[in-house]
Amino acid sequence: MLPNLTLVIQGLAFFAVAWLVMKFGWPHIIGAIEERQQKIAEGLAAADRSQKDLAQAQDKVNEALREARVKANEIIDQAHQRANQIVEAAKNEAIAEANRQKALAEAEIAAAANRAREDLRRQVSTLAVAGAEKLLRREIDQNAHKALLDELAAEI
């Protein structure tokens, strides 16, 4: 065969195959490439949106944490104030109870002192009657002279 004819036939076959590929295969290849480019662009846009959403979510989390800390500090302050109020109330109650106990003790002491005075008056009046009896050498009727003895006890 002739080398030129072979070269021409091969050239025509090459161009025919190239034409067929460009006519029927190339649009599918270009469509697939463009579809892939579009998917990549959408993925990048979604990644950018996700980063922005993540940044916004992080800001919201930080704000919520700040608010939670502020609220926790307020609750702690209120708890301290309430504890101080409870301590103060307990202190006041203890002081009031101590004053009440002191008043009761003073009243008991005063009552005991009065009883002791009355006992002492009775003893003095008994001694006075005994002394007067010895002086007069006669017995004084205690029932008959009760008013006199009571007056004597009141003076003592």
Q: How many domains are contained in the chain? A: 1
Whether residue 20 lies inside any domain: the answer is no
pLDDT-based confidence at 144, cuts 50/70/90?
low
Per-residue pLDDT tens over the stretch 17-60? 999 988 888 888 899 999 999 999 999 999 999 999 999 999 99
pLDDT, residue 126, reads 79
pLDDT, residue 55, reads 94
Whether residue 132 lies inside any domain: the answer is yes
Query: Which carries the bigger pLDDT value, residue 130 or residue 86?
Result: 86
Per-residue pLDDT tens over the stretch 99-138? 999 999 999 999 999 998 888 888 877 777 776 766 565 5
Task: Flag whether pLDDT at 145 surpasses 70.
Answer: no
Query: Which carries the bigger pLDDT value, residue 124 or residue 13?
Result: 13
Whether residue 8 lies inside any domain: the answer is no
Whether residue 18 lies inside any domain: the answer is no
pLDDT-based confidence at 1, cuts 50/70/90?
low
Count how many Cα atoms sit within 13 Å of the Cα of residue 5 in the half-sphere of its side chain.
2
Whether residue 29 lies inside any domain: the answer is no
C-alpha angle 99/101/103, rounded to 5°?
A: 65
Nearest-Å Rg of the Cα atoms of the chain is 60
Centroid of chain to Cα 144: 79
pLDDT, residue 41, reads 94
DSSP 10-77: HHHHHHHHHHHIIIIIHHHHHHHHHHHHHHHHHHHHHHHHHHHHHHHHHHHHHHHHHHHHHHHHHHHH
Whether residue 61 lies inside any domain: the answer is yes
Q: Which domain holds residue 111?
A: 37-155
Whether residue 93 lies inside any domain: the answer is yes
Cβ–Cβ < 8 Å for 153, 127: no
Contacts of 91 (CB under 8 A, 6+ apart): none
| CA-based nearest residue to 156, from 103, 116, 109 | 116
Whether residue 26 lies inside any domain: the answer is no
